[in-house]
Structure 1
Amino acid sequence: MDVRSLAWRTDVALRAYAGGEVEDRGDHLIVRTPANPTFYWGNFLLLAAPPSTASVEHWLAVFEDAFPEAQHRTFGVDGCRGTLDDLGGFRAAGLGVEVSTVLTTHALAAAPPSVDGAVVRPLSDDRDWEQQVELSMSDPDLAGGREFATRRARAERGLVEDGHGLWWGAFVDDVLAASLGVFVASTGLARYQGVQTHPAYRRRGLCTALVHAAGRHALAELGARRLLIVADPDDDAVRVYRRAGFRDGETQLQAARLPRG
């Protein structure tokens, strides 16, 4: 399967770099993350085209065959210009559907002034990565608890140690207040990952500082010629990315049924 979407192409590449498995079935990919089976978007199907309403039950059965122990159902749909209408079959079957905005740039806008009291640098030692887990735990929407957050941080650190990029943090009084990763996911293309800010430190410009620092490093040191980030079109963060020089390009389609609680 030739993945057209830059967002899904980089997602799949990063899952593989982190030790995941990608099985090509022609009209879909099965992406598995054996080290973290409760990672919803590390264990999913990527479909080559939007499913019809009549075919959704078939795809649910394919998912259940691929992930017999899973309590979730997660699907990506390849393509560059999709809309919620393309996910109508999944929505009719009771899955939540989402269209994200894919933004790219070849050059960042001028960097903003530094944030008073914040130190922006890559994560480096065990203490930094322990704080990465704690930062994840501050997210009220985190599913999977500490075990999931620990496994995810281990995979993120592995990407860094394997030389694919860096995970950046904004530290306030030596506390990790915000973080994100940037990794080269294909030749010349660097992908941002996992943008998060502790609720107590939001609206201080930390995300903006991280986006600029990580992007400048990727363009200057990682061989990237283009930067890519994916965002909820209704989230405040998308405005941060546009001010940093990113422009809307593709859309990314996904559908999910997640465990309750």
Structure 2
Amino acid sequence: MTYKSAQSLGVRSNLLVAQGVSITEQQEDRIILRMPDEPYNWGGNMLYFKGDEIRAEEHVARFKQDFPTMAHIALSWDVSDMTIGPDHKGLSDLGFELEQLDILTLTGSLNRSEAPKGIIIRPVTSETDWEQVIQLQLDVGEEQGYERSSFEHFIRGRFLARRKQIQDGWAIWLGAFDGDLLVADLGIYADKVVARFQDVETRKSHRKKGICAALVTAGIDWAKSKAPDTIPVLQALSDGPAGRVYRRCGFAHQETQVLAILPPQGMYERPEE
């Protein structure tokens, strides 16, 4: 499978979470990731270049060649340690948004966390459960500055694909429930090498109560039951709120990845500050 040829844990885990709903193509200089049913998924329709050379105009031309109908451009590099530097200036001059991502892994012991009293962690299964997941994703997205109605179109399409992946055995989605109310959720994908967390979200009323750490514990238990030697992986700023939670669970910085996005006009963009 093409995703297994990726050199970095960050890229390999990115390709894993697209498994079953994507088409990947290996070229001499790049990996092409396509999600035909999700044209507005920037991270699902992108190029991963091999090596750490930044050739802005050539990279852009490659993307337009590989994705002639896409309104966005999304680029990254399959290397384990890239940080934003002078070599990326050609992309920023073209209007690209550059993001530096920390790849955290758990290679030692997990610092286990139990759910707080009254909170039940279980798989998301029913239509009611899934609708609560979508609404929580939208609530958190709105907090982060996304325009709700256009973001909802993206999120609903994304979760149709995720439910297919879960049905096919690639992933599980876990919810933390306070009675019937979903207060937090996360997804985790796993194979024999990596297990990747996705979209850890907590309702504003239930933050800083240890629920996220308990969900991470439950997710790792599922992944390890599927593949005992798998390495749990996630993307989060090491010194940000999420990164601090994961480091308390035992995660540590492993890689740094750079993402370059040229977004289209009008698609769930963050408003100007």
Q: Match of 1:97, SS? A: strand
Aligned to 1:207: 212
CA distance in 1 between counterparts of 2:123 and 2:75 reads: 32
CA distance in 1 between counterparts of 2:92 and 2:248 reads: 33
Larger deviation, residues 35-44 vs 104-113: 104-113
What do the CA deviations read for 1:70-102 (whole angstroms, capped 9, x no partner)?
222111111111111153432233211122111
Aligned to 1:183: 189
Q: Which residue among 26, 29, 34 is the counterpart of 2:28?
A: 26
Counterparts of 1:150-161 in structure 2 under 5 Å? 150-161=156-167
Aligned to 2:66: 66
CA contact (8 A) 1:21 1:33 kept: yes
Alignment pair present for 1:4 and 2:10: no
Query: Alpha-carbon deviation of 1:232?
Result: 2.3
CA contact (8 A) 2:238 2:253 kept: no
CA contact (8 A) 1:192 1:228 kept: yes
Q: Which residue among 153, 156, 161 is the counterpart of 1:147?
A: 153
Query: Alpha-carbon deviation of 1:113?
Result: 4.2
Aligned to 2:43: 41
CA distance in 2 between counterparts of 1:96 and 1:234 reads: 21
Alignment size in residue pairs: 256
Aligned to 1:166: 172
CA contact (8 A) 2:197 2:233 kept: yes
C-alpha distance 202-72 of structure 1, shift in aligned 2 (>3 A):
farther
What do the CA deviations read for 1:92-138 (whole angstroms, capped 9, x no partner)?
33211122111111344332342133211111122211222112211
Q: Match of 1:84, SS? A: coil
CA contact (8 A) 2:24 2:34 kept: yes
Aligned to 1:94: 95
Q: Which residue among 211, 229, 234 is the counterpart of 2:234?
A: 229
CA contact (8 A) 1:73 1:257 kept: yes
1:63 maps to a residue whose letter is: F
Q: Match of 1:31, SS? A: strand
CA distance in 2 between counterparts of 1:256 and 1:134 reads: 26
Q: Match of 2:256, SS? A: strand
CA distance in 2 between counterparts of 1:84 and 1:109 reads: 31
1:8 maps to a residue whose letter is: V
Q: Match of 2:31, SS? A: strand
CA contact (8 A) 1:184 1:224 kept: no
CA contact (8 A) 1:51 1:89 kept: no
Query: Alpha-carbon deviation of 1:211?
Result: 0.6
C-alpha distance 109-30 of structure 1, shift in aligned 2 (>3 A):
closer
Query: Alpha-carbon deviation of 1:203?
Result: 2.1
CA contact (8 A) 2:171 2:188 kept: yes
1:237 maps to a residue whose letter is: A
Q: Which residue among 244, 256, 264 is the counterpart of 1:259?
A: 264
* Structure 2 residue runs without a partner (length 5+): none
CA contact (8 A) 1:24 1:30 kept: yes
TM-score by length of 2: 0.86
* Structure 1 residue runs without a partner (length 5+): none
CA distance in 2 between counterparts of 1:3 and 1:88 reads: 26
User: Which ranges of 4 or more aligned residues in structure 1 deviate by more than 6 Å?
Assistant: none
Alignment pair present for 1:118 and 2:119: yes
CA distance in 1 between counterparts of 2:31 and 2:106 reads: 28
Query: Alpha-carbon deviation of 1:63?
Result: 1.5
2:57 maps to a residue whose letter is: E
